[in-house]
Amino acid sequence: MPDDPIDATRLALRLRAVAAALDDLPAHASRFARWRARRDAALKDQAQRQPAHRRGVTRRVWPLRPGRPPGWRPAGRHAHPVHDVLNIVHDLAFWAMERTDTS
């Protein structure tokens, strides 16, 4: 709302994106599987060719963007609980991508 003490527009947009992804989970799961298959094929092809020095297209090998989450602030400098929520959601995304222990 306009009279809120902090603008939570970015957080609201992020939550809407999560809700939209959860509403269409099969489509996003198949999109992720296609991305993973393309990545694995490219890595296999690159390993077979063993280029000495590669320039050109940089491809992602991890589905999450590198770096800190949007709106990140160092510990102790959080101006509002929204920053805590953003950091927790970012940590959960990385936790969900960890390989499971099968031992």
1 DSSP 8-state letter? -
Enter the pTM of the model.
Answer: 0.50
What is the spatial distance between Cα 100 and Cα 80, in angstroms, rounded to a whole number?
33
Amino acid at 78: H
Q: Which helix (H) or strand (E) holds 26?
A: helix 25-49
Buried b / exposed e over 38-50, threshold 16 CB at 10 Å, is: eeeeeeeeeeeee
pLDDT in tens, 18-43: 898 889 989 988 988 898 898 888 87
- What mean pLDDT do residues 50-68 have? 64
- Token pair of 69, please? 């989450």
